């Protein structure tokens, strides 16, 4: 009983630790800046560009829902785009209140299970949906580097290319049915792992997506990620960030990868430190980069979470 209670306490301890890490990171950052200058930047933020960023964020959620619907249609799960958009917003709500950084994905799976008899299909659709988003964003970053390799410091450029190559390779390994069959045939350990019931079903579900559906979802993902970059640019313009589209296109994928590291609460502290270091490398003042990152959090997490909360309350009434 004592061990069971200790195990039960682990999520609360993890949440507390993440919250303390975020507080510590933010405290460290704020001790290194000119606080009055930071407050002045926030107060002078251009409301027009902030509203533009909020509109682009909402557009981005609809595009994500469209991408998800494209994947679901390919495995014969028919869900209206309005329902998928609502589920996405509810996911943002739970990203803010659950201890895990993937709490929103878990809620999306639970909600989608109401429309599908196969849990593995729900899981695989969320995994592929998220993966395509990251892969496309990294592809945009790599393409941006081809236009101007010297736009960012060399280590940042090499890291971007390495992440794109690693993600592309991982995606090919997961989604290629022929390769999967050969691995099962020739590597005993891989065969034994995929013989495990739930894991085998998940791999089978991952490979059930036709290439035409993946290509269509990838194209939709390009539109979404361009809207994401535009949203960040709008926030940057609202606080006077002087950076090019190329620089945003390189920095946003890196930030997205860093935020997958499971430390901090809602990415707070980690996001701010990453924005500061990346944008500082192209001459953006620390206080301005910090203001930008906190506005990104406000619009990308709190604003969407508020919409998700309203939708959630209306659904349970």
Measured distance CA(100)–CA(95) in Å, rounded: 7
Q: Which pLDDT value is given to residue 2?
A: 41
Size of the chain in residues: 317
Q: Which pLDDT value is given to residue 286?
A: 93
Q: Which pLDDT value is given to residue 200?
A: 64
Interhelix angle 119-147/197-206, nearest 10 degrees: 50
Mean pLDDT along residues 216-239: 94
- Closest by alpha carbon to 127, among 197, 68, 211, 80? 68
* Helix segments in the chain, DSSP class H: 2-30, 35-43, 47-74, 81-97, 103-112, 119-147, 154-175, 177-186, 188-194, 197-206, 211-238, 245-258, 270-280, 286-297, 304-316
Measured distance CA(205)–CA(169) in Å, rounded: 19
118 three-state secondary structure: coil
Q: Which pLDDT value is given to residue 5?
A: 42
Which percentage of the chain shows pLDDT scores above 70? 86
Mean pLDDT along residues 135-164: 85
Instruction: Indicate the pLDDT class of residue 25, thresholds 50, 70 and 90.
Output: confident
Residue 36 CB partners (closer than 8 Å, separation 6+): none
pLDDT tens by residue, 60-86: 999 999 999 998 988 888 889 999 999
Higher pLDDT residue, 201 or 229? 229
Domain boundaries, the chain: 2-26+47-316
Q: Which residue's entry shows tokens 């943002």? A: 92
Mean pLDDT along residues 292-297: 93
Mean pLDDT along residues 260-278: 81
- Closest by alpha carbon to 267, among 148, 103, 79? 103
Instruction: Indicate the pLDDT class of residue 169, thresholds 50, 70 and 90.
Output: confident
φ, ψ (nearest 5 deg) of residue 80: -60, 145
pLDDT tens by residue, 118-131: 667 777 788 888 88
Mean pLDDT along residues 109-115: 79
């Amino acid at each position: 009983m004592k061990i069971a209670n200790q195990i039960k306490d682990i999520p609360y301890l993890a949440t507390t630790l993440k919250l303390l890490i975020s507080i510590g990171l933010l405290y460290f950052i704020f001790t290194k800046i000119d606080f009055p200058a930071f407050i002045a930047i926030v107060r002078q933020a251009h409301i027009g560009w902030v509203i533009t960023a909020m509109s682009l964020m909402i557009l981005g959620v609809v595009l994500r829902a469209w991408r998800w619907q494209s994947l679901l249609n390919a495995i014969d799960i028919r869900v209206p785009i309005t329902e998928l958009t609502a589920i996405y917003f509810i996911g943002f709500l739970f990203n803010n209140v659950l201890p895990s950084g993937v709490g929103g994905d878990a809620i999306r799976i639970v909600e989608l299970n109401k429309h599908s008899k196969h849990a593995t299909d729900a899981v695989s659709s969320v995994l592929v949906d998220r993966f395509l988003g990251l892969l496309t964003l990294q592809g945009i970053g790599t393409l941006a580097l081809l236009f101007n390799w010297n736009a960012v410091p060399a280590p940042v450029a090499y890291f971007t290319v390495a992440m794109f190559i690693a993600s592309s390779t991982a995606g090919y390994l997961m989604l290629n049915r022929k390769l999967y069959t050969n691995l099962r045939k020739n590597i005993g350990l891989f065969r034994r792992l995929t013989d495990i019931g739930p894991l085998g079903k998940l791999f089978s579900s991952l490979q059930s997506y036709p290439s035409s559906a993946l290509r269509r979802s990838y194209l939709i993902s390009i539109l979404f990620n361009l809207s994401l970059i535009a949203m960040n640019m709008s926030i940057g313009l609202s606080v006077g960030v002087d950076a090019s589209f190329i620089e945003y296109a390189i920095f946003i994928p890196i930030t997205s990868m860093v935020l997958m590291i499971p430390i901090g609460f809602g990415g707070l502290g980690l996001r701010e430190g990453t924005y500061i270091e990346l944008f500082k490398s192209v001459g953006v003042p620390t206080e301005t980069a910090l203001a930008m990152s906190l506005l990104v959090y406000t619009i990308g997490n709190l604003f969407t979470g508020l919409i998700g909360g309203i939708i959630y309350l209306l659904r349970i009434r």
